[in-house]
């Protein structure tokens, strides 16, 4: 009798271990970034009319709204933008590629929370890169405040992270007093440029909502490290909100790291992007504005 009981308990224990090993989930996230107001952009470019400016802002808004899929298990995850078919004749392809590169966009974002590293394949200016680096360690402050997201009880957590200079989403509008101070320094030869109305902060405060009911320390993009799946992230400009969760589906997804591209660190990749952005800015300064008609109509 004892042997039989021991045998049954062993089967149950093995089943629980196996279930944990095979545990997998899928979460759908809707990402929305506030499109910047292009006020002042027309200062050095008389070809841009108010109607064109409004059209550009609307197009940017569409580009800044994305859907992502996160497939995860206990130790790793892949986060990738949902592929959408563009309408025939849809304009803005060149602008979409450029902005996606400047917004931290990439192919597959792989996180291994056990090894504390990430790998993401990115395409920038026609070149493929494979960014390999350590996962950023955020000092999360756990709060008692709760709310419901998709039927799951979520808890609030906040953290301060360093702003990536290569991520367009991190730009913030300058305060009016800073604009006035900059205007005093301007010379008669300097034109008004789009980037003159914005600045890159050194740090950004992030608010996240996580659910201990899904016991994995995963989340969208490079967010991780909380005692439950992160279902919402808000950094003041970008909101990433989970709209659907599926746990332990019959069909499993292979969670594998991408392998294509020239291997670089995050710092090396950011230096490449910043250098190209500066070259692009200087090129357009020579044309008398920050964003010429050629780029807008692509």
**pLDDT at residue 118, rounded to an integer:** 97
The token pair at 138 is 């955020």
What does the domain layout of the chain look like in residue ranges?
Answer: 23-296
**pLDDT at residue 10, rounded to an integer:** 35
**pLDDT > 90 in the chain, percent:** 44
Residue 13, C-beta contacts closer than 8 angstroms, at least 6 positions apart: none
What sign results for the dihedral spanned by CA atoms 144, 33, 271, 129? positive
**pLDDT at residue 55, rounded to an integer:** 76
Coil, strand or helix at 168: helix
Binned at pLDDT 50, 70 and 90, residue 14 comes out as: very low
151 vs 249: CA distance, rounded Å: 18
β-pair type (141-149, 127-134): unpaired
pLDDT tens-digit readout, 174-228:
655 554 555 555 544 444 454 555 676 788 899 999 999 999 999 999 999 999 9
Under 8 Å between Cβ of 72 and 249: no
**pLDDT at residue 185, rounded to an integer:** 55
Between residues 107 and 87, the one the model is more confident about: 107
Range of weakest confidence among 17-31, 141-155, 243-257 = 17-31
**pLDDT at residue 293, rounded to an integer:** 37
242 vs 263: CA distance, rounded Å: 31
21 vs 23: CA distance, rounded Å: 6
**pLDDT at residue 102, rounded to an integer:** 55
pLDDT tens-digit readout, 131-179:
999 999 899 999 999 999 999 999 999 999 887 766 667 666 665 555 4
Between residues 201 and 229, the one the model is more confident about: 229
> Would the pLDDT of 279 be above 90?
no
**pLDDT at residue 19, rounded to an integer:** 45
Under 8 Å between Cβ of 67 and 81: yes
> Would the pLDDT of 73 be above 70?
yes
* DSSP annotation of 98: H
Nearest in space to 56 (alpha carbons), one of 97, 100, 92:
92
Cα Rg for the chain, rounded, in angstroms? 23
81 vs 70: CA distance, rounded Å: 9
The token pair at 191 is 């034109």
**Cα separation values, 108 from 5, 86, 105, 166, 178, Å:** 47, 20, 9, 18, 39
φ, ψ of residue 180 to 5 degrees: the values are -65, -40
**pLDDT at residue 189, rounded to an integer:** 44
**pLDDT at residue 2, rounded to an integer:** 45
Between residues 1 and 251, the one the model is more confident about: 251
The beta strands (E) that lie in the chain are given as: 25-33, 65-72, 76-81, 108-112, 117-124, 127-134, 141-149, 152-162, 172-173, 198-199, 203-211, 229-234, 238-247, 262-264
**pLDDT at residue 209, rounded to an integer:** 98
Distance of CA 183 to the CA centre of its chain: 33
**pLDDT at residue 202, rounded to an integer:** 81
122 vs 100: CA distance, rounded Å: 10
């Amino acid at each position: 009798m004892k042997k039989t009981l021991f045998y049954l308990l062993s089967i149950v224990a093995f089943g629980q271990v196996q279930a944990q090993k095979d545990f997998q989930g899928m979460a759908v996230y809707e990402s929305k970034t506030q499109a910047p107001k292009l006020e002042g952009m027309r200062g050095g470019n008389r070809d841009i009319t108010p109607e064109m400016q409004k059209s550009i802002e609307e197009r940017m808004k569409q580009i800044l709204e994305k859907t992502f899929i996160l497939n995860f298990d206990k130790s790793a995850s892949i986060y990738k933008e949902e592929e959408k078919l563009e309408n025939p004749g849809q304009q803005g392809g060149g602008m979409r590629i450029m902005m996606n590169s400047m917004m931290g966009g990439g192919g597959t974002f792989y996180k291994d929370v056990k090894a504390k590293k990430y790998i993401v394949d990115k395409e920038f200016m026609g070149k493929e890169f494979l960014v390999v680096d350590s996962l950023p360690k955020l000092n999360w402050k756990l709060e008692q405040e709760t709310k419901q997201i998709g039927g799951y009880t979520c808890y609030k957590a906040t953290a301060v992270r360093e702003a990536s200079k290569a991520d367009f989403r991190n730009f913030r509008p300058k305060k009016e007093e800073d604009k006035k101070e900059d205007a005093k320094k301007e010379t008669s030869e300097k034109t008004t440029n789009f980037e003159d109305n914005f600045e890159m902060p050194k740090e950004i405060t992030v608010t996240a909502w996580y659910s201990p009911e899904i016991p994995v320390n995963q989340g969208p993009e490079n967010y991780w490290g909380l005692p439950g799946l992160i279902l919402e992230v808000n950094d003041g400009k970008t909101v990433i909100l989970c709209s659907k969760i599926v746990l332990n589906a019959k069909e499993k997804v292979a969670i594998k790291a991408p392998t294509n591209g020239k291997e670089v660190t995050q710092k090396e990749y950011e230096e490449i992007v910043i250098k190209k952005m500066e070259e692009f800015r200087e090129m357009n300064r020579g044309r008398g504005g920050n964003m010429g008609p050629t780029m807008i109509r692509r």
